[in-house]
Structure 1
Amino acid sequence: MGSTRRVGRGAGSRSRPLVTLGVALVATSVLAACGSETGKTINVYYAPEENFQTVVDNCNEQANGRYQIVYNKLPRDADGQREQMVRRLAAEDDEMDVLGLDVTWVAEFAEAGWAAEWTGKNKAEAEEGVLPGPLETAMWQDKLYAATKNTNIQLMWYDERLTPEPPETWDEVIAAAKRLKQQGKPYQVVFTGAQYEGLVSMYNSITESAGGQILSDDGLSVEMDEGAVRALEILHELTTAGITAPGLTNAQEDETRLSFEAKGSQAAFQLNWPFVYPAMQEGNPERAEHMKWTRFPEATAGEPSRSTIGGYNLAVSSYSKHQPEAFEAALCLRSAENQKFSAVSDGVPPTIESVYNDPEPIDPSKPAGDDNPNMETAYPMKDTILDALKEPGVRPLTPAYQNVSTVISTVLSPPSSIDPQATAERLRSEITDALESKGVLP
């Protein structure tokens, strides 16, 4: 939300002028400007990402005239992206070749017959070196229906001047915030509390951290076990302890970021995606010097937290007239080299584990630095991200996810009104109804 219902599930984009660095990655192909020698066009439908065209140009260079990839930008909001693709695929539109799918849509598109299965050599290449959590988001019923392009995961961001040693559990977070408030210092815990996918992601993270499940493993029935109820208890306690911001119920990713980033902010802790790091460098350089990060809080002391995965996967349309070339293009667009470029230029975490430890900058002929970043300079929190990605939370996998998400965000809003047992019963009932309505149109 990955999401959060926004581009890249909260991935954000870096505002540093890195487009020129694409020249060091590849020279823009003359073929990209003039078309392919065969006349084959591979249409890629993907979310707006500032430097993704450079990745496309790189892959057109590698295609060497056999086809030309064209980047078709989808709407900026995730709901608009899904709606546009769903309507065209429902009409069996054969002009769509590669589909940029939010991690929560793969099951839906696979079940509807819109996403082609990855098999053989394509499957092996798409799976090679990919972290298990992100790979799970590209699968449905033990089959691969997409290649992982990027992932995302929330961390807890804090001001080291207020809490030199960050709290590790939700109980400790709440206690620390209350203590800071009593001392007259910034104290608020800010997160995505609006009625949308961001609240669902928050609840899922706490549920997973408590060892719970919302749906059964096969996605066909409601689980809502003790861990899911414990997560409701934590959300209720967090939002009724007097330590959240007044605008919590309107807070999506950017509002959450700004409430922590603002000068004179009363926020001490922020739950958000890594895009907040580069934003803070420009938005509030003074506080940026003291902003640190740690993993999502534990629900139970000593039990690793499991933050919800975001990100995007690349599927090949079942109606594509050029499926062999579409699979090849998708593999190129999410190659290790291009995942690294997208990570340091657009702030989207890689799904391939080896990329995190790649020391080379964008231009290997020059030293790494602000104008020639590598993973270390662009992603100082990369080790924490990788650590969290090895123990992730994955949103319930179901073709009816859109319906399930809508129900959860509605029932949990506002989170201060949660009555754990009663809310759990309502979720059980309404999610069951949502699962029985598996329509894919918006």
Structure 2
Amino acid sequence: MATTLTLLAPLAACGSGGDGIPTINVYYAPEQNFQQVVDQCAGQAQGRYQIAYRILPRGADDQRVQMVRRLAAGDTGMDVLGLDVTWTPEFASAEWILEWTGDRRTEVETGTLAGPLESARYQGKLYAAPKNTNTQLLWYRSDIVSEPPKTWDEMIKAAEALKAQGKTYQVITMGAQYEGLVVLYNTLVASAGGMIINEAGTEAVMDAGAVQALALLQRFASAGITNPSFTNTQEDDARLQFQSGQGAFQLNYPFVYAAMAEAAPDLLKNVKWARYPAVDPNVPSKVTIGGYNMAVSRYSPHPELAFEVAACLRNAEHQLFSAVHDGVPPTIERVYDDPQMDEAYPMKNEILEELRDPAVRPRTPAYQNVSTVLSAGLSPPQDIEPEKTANKLRREIQDALESKGVLP
């Protein structure tokens, strides 16, 4: 990491090009065709400024570490920051990013889906502009399963029945000790109507819904219906397992559709999708969203231009482009009405259903600490003892909220 910082710092140190034109440095995750979006926004500036796309590491933790270190040092070489949706409270509370106000705020809020928009707020103020979002669906083999299960209970029982019949039966999803396991648990908690921490982000709750989610996760993990490598599986591992024909069900993000279309078109003919399973048969699931938001660094030498660039990078035109070419679902609702979305996202109606009433991860400046505690406490899921694990997590999460004993 130190080497990466050393290499990037000289590039970012220059706030203007050799001809005196300001350079707006955009620090954002790797996205294959994002440079085209950057070039279009630069062209619209008509020479008033240049835009440099500084590609962050692929891993979210590495992205965060790089930005946190530089912002903590007051680095003036960073203008626009691509933030994971969980980082807004941390960056805002540290006063590393500027608030979106007035017309800028109105422009961002108009037409943006409520869930992604909430991820860009902290203490009632808007600190970022949602660029893309993400949500998981239930993918299933229609040649094996006639109707998709509507609840976790139905899905577990269906997989057990298929296994008993000697058919393909696995439920494939992410169970490794990392953020994906936290996302799985958070979705179960929200779908059960529970809470991990309070709304203010100051107190560990781990209520009855959180305990119910622990029991369900333990039941799922120990039912003999997961892939043998469940506790080591991350998103792309799950995709490959399902794509190779190992599963009857998969819980994963929409990127798996395009991947199957390219690598396993014969399998895709028998793959359908549905809303993520519910915990309560009478209450729709609430699925944890992901994605990235665009923020402006407090230390930017050109904050007005940085806001302009951030707004351009995430506008409706460019969200459509990124959705179609890079597989990142839009946060602006009307983009889903564009005909181009029909081919790229045949599952767009199910995505929108979930995005209109999603779950967000615990909102606290100490989220990194909370996530570390949760992923450790939930792993391996088959060893969970619901009440005992809940009590342990409640204590450890409270310590994490107070930054005790956890290295962020």
Common fold by TM > 0.5? yes
How many residues are paired up? 393
Select which of 367, 370, 376 maps to 1:404. 370
Are 2:61 and 1:76 aligned?
no
Distance 2:267 2:201 in 1: 43
- Describe how 1:258-273 pairs up with structure 2 within 5 A: 258-262=240-244, 265-273=245-253
- Matched residue, 1:437: 403
1:172 to 142, 154, 159: 154
Contact 2:369/2:407, CA 8 A, preserved across alignment? no
Task: Quote the residue 1:158 is aligned against.
Answer: 140
* Contact 1:38/1:66, CA 8 A, preserved across alignment: no
Between the aligned partners of 2:314 and 2:39, the Cα distance in structure 1 is 13
Does the 8 Å CA contact 1:83/1:441 hold for their aligned counterparts? no
- Alpha-carbon distance in 2 for matches of 1:207, 1:36: 54
Establish whether residue 127 from structure 1 lines up as the match of residue 109 from structure 2.
Answer: yes
C-alpha separation in 1, matches of 2:329 and 2:220: 29
What's the offset of the Cα at 1:266?
2.6
Pairwise CA RMSD: 1.5
The one-letter code matched in structure 1 to 2:276 is F
Q: Is the 8 A contact 2:24 2:305 kept in 1?
A: yes
Q: CA deviation at 1:127?
A: 1.1
Could you give the per-residue CA deviations for residues 391-420 of structure 1, whole angstroms, max 9, x where no partner exists?
A: 101001000000000000000000000011
Structure 2 residue matching 1:356: 3-state secondary structure: helix
Paired position in structure 2 for 1:284: 264
Q: Which residue of 1 aligns with 2:383?
A: 417
Offset at 1:284? 1.4
- CA pair 237-160 structure 1, distance change in 2 beyond 3 A: same
- Aligned residues with identical type, % of pairs: 62
Distance 2:276 2:161 in 1: 20
**Residue among 53, 57, 60 paired with 2:42:** 60
Is 1:390 aligned to 2:356, yes or no? Answer: yes
Runs (4 or more) in structure 1 with deviation over 3 Å come to: 34-38, 438-442
Q: Which amino acid aligns with 1:215?
A: I
Deviation at 1:185, TM superposition (A): 0.8
SS at match of 1:122: helix
SS at match of 2:272: strand
8 Å Cα contact 2:399-2:405 kept in structure 1 = no
Residue 294 of structure 2 aligns to a residue whose secondary structure is strand
Corresponding residue SS for 1:338: helix
Q: Shift in Å at residue 35 of structure 1?
A: 6.2
- The answer as to whether partners of 1:400 and 1:439 remain within 8 angstroms in 2 is no
Distance of 1:401 and 1:66 partners within structure 2? 38
* 1:185 equivalent in structure 2: 167
Counterpart selection for 2:217 from 235, 239, 242: 235
Equivalent in 375, 378, 392 of residue 426 of structure 1 = 392
Structure 2: which 5+ residue stretches go unaligned? Answer: 1-15
Match among 271, 293, 298 for residue 313 of structure 1: 293
Question: Conserved in 2, the CA contact under 8 Å of 1:307 and 1:388?
Answer: yes
Whether contact under 8 Å (1:36, 1:67) holds in the other structure is: no
Unaligned stretches of 5+ in structure 1?
A: 1-33, 360-373
Instruction: Please state whether the residue corresponding to 2:200 is helix, strand or coil.
Output: coil
The Cα shift of 1:330 comes to: 0.2
Give 1:75 shift. Answer: 0.5
- Pick closer, same or farther for the CA change 1:281–1:220 going to 2, 3 Å: same
Q: Which residue of 2 aligns with 1:365?
A: none
Tell me by how many angstroms 1:182 deviates.
Answer: 0.9
